[in-house]
Amino acid sequence: MSRAPTETPSAPRRTHDAGRARLPDATGVARSTDGVGIAWESFGSGDPTLVLLPSTPIIHSRQWKAQVPYLSRSWRVITYDGRGNGLSDRPTDPEAFRSERIVDDLVAVLDATDTEAAVLVGLCGDGVWHSILFAGEHPDRALGIVAFSVGVPLLSPPHPWRVQYSTTDELPTDEGWAKLNEHYWRRDYPGFVSFFFDQLLPEPHSTKQLEDTVAWALDGSVDSMLGDMHAPSELSLERVTEACQAVRCPMLLVHGTDDRCQPPSRAQRLADMTGAPLVILEGAGHLIPAREPVKANLLIAEFVRGLAGRSR
């Protein structure tokens, strides 16, 4: 794999955007409460609307490339680039990456696209945790949540390798998860993303997904990543539990047994806490929608169809 320079682009960028299986019917930029511009795209027209949340700022909306063409045949699908990557603005201030701001972005996109309520589909903390926060605060606007690689913080201890090294101290090594470190990021951000996504794609025959995710990460801004790393957070297990129990809409949880980012125990805890069904995929890694798109798409479609019989 060729290495891009450590310098990441400061201008909006999304590689390989032209040759898509499905091009958007409408695009726009939503203005979030703090003024950050959020680039969104809309595909198809069926009801309900599905919003596929970005794993921001590490990658952008193309992470859903294997979902958009399929789901938009039946439903209106909205994707957007999170702040710090793709065609959205690239703030670097840690304050800009508070959870509240990330939820603001979702609200701004819903408003800009005249979406009263939507089914939320997310991956990991960026997608899942913010969907849960949104659903608790705006119960009328969340019709359901499909949570892949359930990233709800603090519900269970992190994988030991994720906390083996300091993310902020200068380390004597760059080996393995020591790459999850701000000094290493400044030295060799491509080295980090190549390692990181390789860990998230443990399945054999993932070379294409690895190439894609690394390219999308290098579309983003390492300064925004550093802002995100230092974002203030006042989380506690009580606060997380409260937020999870505040969700009133149906949820579906999907987790791989070989997820090296989020431990499967977090999905199990959330399922126990909320009664949401949990689908465990044997041997799957973290990036289920990218690596197992057929399974992921069928699970999403079945969930959305199941909502139809429910009164709103």
Partner 1 sequence: MVSATRADALPTPAAPAREQTRARYPDRVGFTERAGGRIFWEAYGAGDPAIVFVPPWQIVHSRVWKAQIPDFARRHRVIAWDNRGNGRSDRPRDPMVHVTRERAANLLAVMDDAGVDAAVLVGVSSSSGPMVVVAAEHPERTLGLVFICPSSPFGSPGPKGSAPFEAPLTDDAGWNKENIHFWRRDMAAYLEHFFGEAFPERHSTKQIDDGIEWAMSTDMETLAATVRTPRTLDEATFAALCSAIRAPALVIQGTDERISDVTQGIGLAAAIPGAVTTLVEGGGHLVHVREPVRVNLLIRSFLEALP
Q: Which is nearer to partner 1, 1 or 163 (CB)?
A: 1
Binding site for partner 1 (CB under 8 A): 204-205, 207-208, 211
The distance of closest approach from Cβ of residue 211 to partner 1 in the complex, given in angstroms and rounded to an integer, is 8
- List the beta bridge partners of residue 119: 50, 144
Kindly state the smallest distance separating residue 205's Cβ from partner 1, in Å: 4
- Could you tell me the smallest distance in angstroms from the CB atom of residue 62 to partner 1? 17
Beta sheet of 76-80, edge-to-edge order = 26-31, 37-43, 76-80, 49-52, 118-123, 142-148, 251-256, 278-281
Contact between 83 and 97 under an 8 Å Cβ cutoff? The reply is: yes
Least separation in angstroms between CB 21 and partner 1: 12
Kindly tell me which of 188 and 211 has the beta carbon lying closer to partner 1: 211
The gap from C-alpha 151 to its chain's centroid, in whole angstroms, comes to: 9
Contact 199, 259 (CB under 8 A): no
Q: Is the Cβ of residue 3 or residue 186 nearer to partner 1 in the bound state?
A: 3
Nearer to partner 1, 27 or 207 (CB): 207
For residues 41 and 223, give the distance between their C-alpha atoms in angstroms, rounded to a whole number: 25
Nearer to partner 1, 34 or 211 (CB): 211
Q: Where are the beta strands (DSSP E) in 25-138?
A: 26-31, 37-43, 49-52, 76-80, 118-123
* Least separation in angstroms between CB 166 and partner 1: 34
Residue 112 CB neighbours (<10 A): 18
Q: How far is the CB of 206 from partner 1 (least distance, A)?
A: 8
To the nearest 10 degrees (0 to 180), the angle between helices 222-229 and 182-200 is 90
Of 8 and 63, nearer to partner 1 (C-beta) is: 63
Q: Do β-strands 49-52 and 37-43 pair in parallel, antiparallel, or remain unpaired? A: unpaired
